[in-house]
Amino acid sequence: MSLRNWSIVGVLGIVGVTVSGAGCSAAEDLKKAQDDLCCKDFEVGADLSNVDWEVKGEGKAKFDAFMVAAADFAAAAQAVVVDVSGACQSLAIDLGADEKAVVETAPDLRAAAWCNLAVAKIESEIKAKGSITVKAQPPSCSFSASAQASCEAKCSGNASCEVSGGDVTARCDPGFLAVKCGGQCEAKCEGSANVAVACTGKCEGACEGTCDGAAMGANASGQCAGTCEGTCRGSCDVTGKASVKCDGECTGGCKCPDGTDSCKKAPRCKAELTPPSAECRGDADCSASCKASASARADCKEGSITVSATGSIDANALASLQANLPKIVAIVKARGAYLQANAQALVEASVGLKAAAPNLSVKAGACIIPAIEAVSTAAKNATAGGTASVKVTASVGI
């Protein structure tokens, strides 16, 4: 029997608790039993790291990690599907759709409907009237090594892993390690749509200066397929070229004058962390929950978007693309992608908890039900948000 199909009575039967009769002689014992049966502690989006689920033995760490991950994952997936639905709704309405065109209320169906309508409006109101070129600076996410290491230490039962596993520089692929660089940036200098960084290289964003030696003044969008020299409102890739002083964030290679790491400040990892060391690896499902939770809590930033057009396309239509596409691209390339990558592992972790059933308390037995239901719904929302977003980005050539 799958955990998803457990009823409260079924769970209590497994853990050896009788439902009929209070089984408690004192009023406070009865109240606690009732509270446990109703599961008041599981809440999507809440910090559940300090909740005592009253699980004993070797299954405790796995159960605790799953419950935290379930709450984090469900909240992140809900935010993704709501965000993409809102962005597609704004885009569709800006392009002429009726504000009441979509009647679906379920988040996944609503996102699909609004994004399908946005794609249809892009075809009729933009592509039918001219052509557009969209250049998107990739969004980026950073991941907390300390939070993930704290969880992994409990999974492995090795307290020292919280310190050793929490070193972001040791857990991050060097190509994705971002720092404030006091020396010379030899990889990517990251700016944004609002922050221009010095650039002599490939600009993923708007180039201000020259492109392959030609002045960019005539190119209002700032798109440069070659070498941008000047400043870049986006990410400047200087790999293989002269290193630069980076006023933004240097990702993938910072060289300090003294040959040490002294000039590297505020390190962040812009990819999921590498697996922990052998001595810090606990149960596979427990570790998967730690990773899923860290990905759900990732700090993600939208990239910049530049849109150029020919023909008779309305300026307001282009402005709407400029405003709404960054959120949609961020879901496709970052937030939604990470959620979908961890969804299956978290679902499998929930099934793995069946083995811990004999050790479950009344409280844990009741609370596992909404937690697994939240994971199932979250997986559906993450998929729906990602699918809807891909349709929109594909329609504009991203």
Task: Give 332-387 pLDDT, tens digit per residue.
Answer: 999 999 998 899 889 888 887 765 555 678 899 889 989 999 999 999 999 999 99
Over residues 318-332, the mean pLDDT reads: 94
pLDDT bin (cut points 50, 70, 90) of residue 220 is low
Q: pTM above the 0.95 mark?
A: no
Name the E strands within the chain: 130-136, 140-142, 177-181, 184-185, 188-190, 197-211, 214-215, 228-237, 249-251, 254-255, 264-269, 299-301, 305-311
Least confidently predicted of 100-109, 148-157, 181-190, 231-240: 231-240
Mean pLDDT is lowest, of 207-211, 388-392, 393-397, for 207-211
- Given a cut of 70, whether residue 13 has pLDDT beyond it is no
Angle separating helix axes 60-94 and 284-296, nearest 10 degrees: 30
pLDDT of res. 10: 37
Per-residue pLDDT for 224 more than 90? no
With 70 as the cut, is the pLDDT of residue 49 above it?
yes
Lowest model confidence (mean pLDDT) among 14-28, 148-162, 231-245, 316-330: 14-28
CB 381 within 8 A of CB 112: no
- pLDDT at residue 74 above 70? yes
Q: Sketch the domain layout of the chain as residue ranges.
A: 3-141+281-395, 173-270
Q: Which helix (H) or strand (E) holds 66?
A: helix 60-94
Q: Report the pLDDT averaged over residues 71-87.
A: 96
Hey, what are 348's tokens?
């499998």
pLDDT for 21: 36
Residues 147 and 141: their CA atoms lie apart, in Å, by 15
Q: What pLDDT score was predicted for residue 20?
A: 35
Res. 218 pLDDT band, cuts 50 70 90 = low
Angle, CA 238 vertex, CA 233 and CA 244 arms, to 5°? 80
Structure confidence at residue 288 (pLDDT): 92
**Within a 13 Å sphere around the CA of 9, how many CA atoms are in the beta-carbon half?**
2
